[in-house]
Amino acid sequence: MSDSVWRLPLEGANLAVLADCHIHGGGPQFPAALLPRLQGADLIVTLGDMGERSGLDQLEEIAPVLGVRGRDDEYDLRTHHVTRVLEGSGYRIGCVFDAQAAGLAAGCDPFVAADRSADACNRLFGGPVDVLLHANTHRADEARFGTKGSAINPGSPVLPADGAKPSFLRLKVTEAGCYGQVVWVA
């Protein structure tokens, strides 16, 4: 088993998904309203461009953290892979920083699946995924992906794109399905 595939009991799990925070000493920091909103998460998944390890450390005070590496990340074991699969309870969740660079998307703002996205899923994740989590635009977005799934971008709670609101994603895995909700950070 590759160490980029995490098998865990996802049934009933509450995942908080963050991206594009660019946390640096003396630079951007998590907004005060964000950290309390992450309470109750069973796992925090980061999708890259988190910045320095100190940001991951802050998040880990709330819940375990794992994710993928972006272009603006210090090396850290929690995020040293460029792709990751969360697998369990009958669901497969694929994580990648830049879906377009990975061959999964023809465009990411808004998301448009690539014509050969199934081939890219096989190459990157070892098969299809129920949910594709991706980042790199600083703007929340959800689109259809694959035969029954969604591609979801949580946006950025720290540095949203022009015209976008600060946001992150709550992902709930239940017996009835896997549901994502973008949460706007006030």
**Residues 129/165, Cβ–Cβ less than 8 Å:** no
Taking only the tens place, the pLDDT of each residue in 131-178 is 999 999 999 999 999 888 899 999 999 999 999 999 999 998 877 778
**Stated pTM of the model:** 0.94
Residue 147: per-residue pLDDT: 80
Confirm whether 2 is domain-assigned.
Answer: no
Q: pLDDT over 70 for what percent of the chain? A: 94
Confirm whether 49 is domain-assigned.
Answer: yes
| Number of compact structural domains in the chain | 1
CA nearest neighbour of 4 among 78, 71, 73, 74: 78
Domain hosting 26: range is 7-184
- Which residues neighbour 4 within 8 Å (Cβ) at sequence distance 6 or greater? 81, 83, 84, 85
- Helix, strand, or coil here: 156? coil
What average pLDDT does range 111-117 have in this prediction?
96
Confirm whether 1 is domain-assigned.
Answer: no
- By the 10 Å C-beta count (0-12 exposed, 13-18 middle, 19+ buried), 30 is classed as middle
Confirm whether 98 is domain-assigned.
Answer: yes
Taking only the tens place, the pLDDT of each residue in 69-87 is 999 999 999 999 999 999 8
Residue 159: per-residue pLDDT: 96
Q: Assign residue 59 the CATH number of its domain.
A: 3.60.21.10
Confirm whether 128 is domain-assigned.
Answer: yes
**Residues 154/140, Cβ–Cβ less than 8 Å:** yes
Query: In whole angstroms, what separates CA 68 from the centre of its chain?
Result: 8
**Residues 165/77, Cβ–Cβ less than 8 Å:** no
